[in-house]
Amino acid sequence: MRAIAYLLYELGVAPDAPSSQAVQEQQVSNFCRQQEHSLNALFTDPAGGQDTTLAGLDSMFRYLREQDGEFLVLVSDPLHLGGTPQTAVDTLLRVDALGSRVACIADGSPDPLLSLLNSLTTSSPGTERRQRIIQGMQARALRGEVLGRPPYGYGVGKDARLEEVPQEVQVVRQIFHLYTDENMGLRAMARHLNESGSLTRAGRSWSVVSLRDILRNRAYIGTYHRFGLSLPGSHPPLVSSELFRRVQDLMRSRSPRRSSGDAQPFLLSGLAYCAQCGSRMIGVTRRQIWRRMSGQRMRGTYRYYQCHARANQSLCSYHTWRAADLEESVLEQIRSRMQSEQQQDKEQQPSIPRYTPPPAFPAPEESQRRRFIRYVKQATNGTITLRRLHALLEGLKEERSSADMDIPPITADAIDASRWNALDFAARRVALQQWLERIIVRDDEIEVHLRKG
C-alpha cells in the first residue's frame, strides 16, 4: 500500500534518542519494509519550537488533497497529530475525510484512535478499570472475536466470530453487483433497493451513506480489522478480493477528491425540514465547469438545500431551494412576525420573548468531555463510523461556541438587515438556533416556527 509519514521530532537530542528525527525515519523505513508498503513522501516538524505553526503537517494535508487514491499515514505517536488528544482526534478525522487512514509504526501499538482514547482517560477516575477493559478487548481482537456491532451481512456465531446471515448476504452481493456490473451510482442503487422493499438491519431505508460504508468495508473479503490489527481469513468472505479492488477503483474514479478546506457550512442545517416526508433539509454544494463560445473556461458554485430522503435515499419528491433564497425567506418571515407584533401594541414588548435554553449540567465542560470520550470509544469499538464521529464532535464544538455567545432577544430591531449582516456566521447560526424551533419547507413556501420562552 502507498504510505506517507509524518514525524514530530525533538531538537537537540542525541541522534540515537527515540524522539530524534533519525530514529523515527529508520522506524518508518523498517515498518514499510516489513509490511510491504511503499513510502511516497515524508513530512516533519520540530517539536517545541517558537513557531507554533506546523508547516510539515500543513504540507502533508496539501499532498493528500492533491493526490488520488488512499494513503496510509504513518506516525510514531498519534499525539504528534495535535497538542492534545482532542486536537489529535480532529486531525485523524481530517485524514479520514480525505480518504486515507492513520497507523502507528511503534511495535505493539494499538489503533491510533484507541491510543488517543487511552490518553483521554488516563487522568480521570476509573482509569485502571478502563485499562483492564481495553486490554481485554485487544486480546479478543487478536483472537478475531467480534467487538461491537457486526457489519451488515454477518452475525456473531457461538465462537464469537463473524458468521453469514443468509438473507443479508444476498443483499450485500446484490449491492456489489449493482455498482459494478449494472454500473449504478449510489443514489440509483438506494432508489432501486428501497423501491424493491429492501431494508437495512435496523428496518430503515437504504441511503447513500449506508451503501458507501458497505462498499468500502474490508470485512466483506474476510479481513477483520480492529485496534490496528488486520486478520485476513478470520471469517467467510462475501465477495472476492478482485471484486472489492474493482469497486474501490470505481469509487475513486466516480468520486474525484475535493478539497475539504473549501467546504462552507450552511446556516439552516438541522433547522429545516421537508413538509412532505419530515426529513431534514441538507445543504448541498454543486460545482460546474464549462466553456463559453469564445473558449473561456468558466466555473460556478451553487448551494442548495435538499430533502435528505430525496438526496440520499431517493424516497421523496424533489424539494430544493437555493440556499440564499431559503435563508432570506426565513429572515423575512421573522421580520414580518416582529413588525406585526410591534404594530399591535407599540408600548409592550414583543409577545415572542427570547428563548431560554433548558438548564445546563452543573459542569457543562465536564459533560462535553465525557461525551467526547464516549463518542471516541464508540468509534474505537466499531459502533459508529469515523464519519459519524466527525459529525458528533462538530456538534460538540457548536455547543461550546454557542455557550460563549450572548444572543439578544428576538426583536425586529435585532433581525434588521443592516445589523444582521454585520454578524459573522457563528453568531448568526447560534442566534437562529436559539430563536427557531423548526422551518417547514415546501416547493413554493415555508413555515417558520419560533421557540417559546
Higher pLDDT, 105 or 226: 105
Kindly state the cell numbers that stand for 446.
415555508
Q: Is 289 helix (H, G, I), strand (E, B) or coil?
A: strand
What local confidence, expressed as pLDDT, does residue 136 receive?
57
User: CA 15, CA 25: separation in Å to the nearest integer?
Assistant: 11
User: CA 273, CA 284: separation in Å to the nearest integer?
Assistant: 15
> What mean pLDDT is reported for the chain?
78
What local confidence, expressed as pLDDT, does residue 363 receive?
44
User: CA 406, CA 409: separation in Å to the nearest integer?
Assistant: 10
Average pLDDT on 211-216 reads 89
Instruction: Summarize pLDDT for 247-270 with one digit per residue, the tens.
Output: 988 887 776 554 444 457 788 888
Per-residue confidence band for 318, with pLDDT thresholds at 50, 70 and 90: low
Kindly state the cell numbers that stand for 151.
457489519
CA–CA–CA angle 243, 245, 251 (5° rounding)? 105
User: CA 221, CA 157: separation in Å to the nearest integer?
Assistant: 18
Look up the pTM and report it.
Answer: 0.49
Fold of 154-254: Hect, E3 ligase catalytic domain fold (3.90.1750)
Query: What pairs with residue 448 in β-bridges?
Result: 439
Q: Spell out the CATH class of 2-141.
A: alpha beta
Higher pLDDT, 109 or 220: 220
The DSSP line for 164-201 is: E-HHHHHHHHHHHHHHHTS---HHHHHHHHHHTT---T
Say if residues 287 and 293 touch (Cβ distance below 8 Å).
no
User: CA 54, CA 57: separation in Å to the nearest integer?
Assistant: 5
**Angle of helix 112-121 relative to helix 85-97, nearest 10 degrees?**
160
Average pLDDT on 101-117 reads 76
User: CA 80, CA 88: separation in Å to the nearest integer?
Assistant: 7
Instruction: Summarize pLDDT for 288-314 with one digit per residue, the tens.
Output: 777 888 888 888 888 889 887 776 666
User: CA 48, CA 190: separation in Å to the nearest integer?
Assistant: 50
Among 194-208, 217-231, 243-257, 279-293, which is the least confidently predicted range? 217-231
Average pLDDT on 101-119 reads 77
Domain boundaries, the chain: 2-141, 154-254, 274-321, 322-450
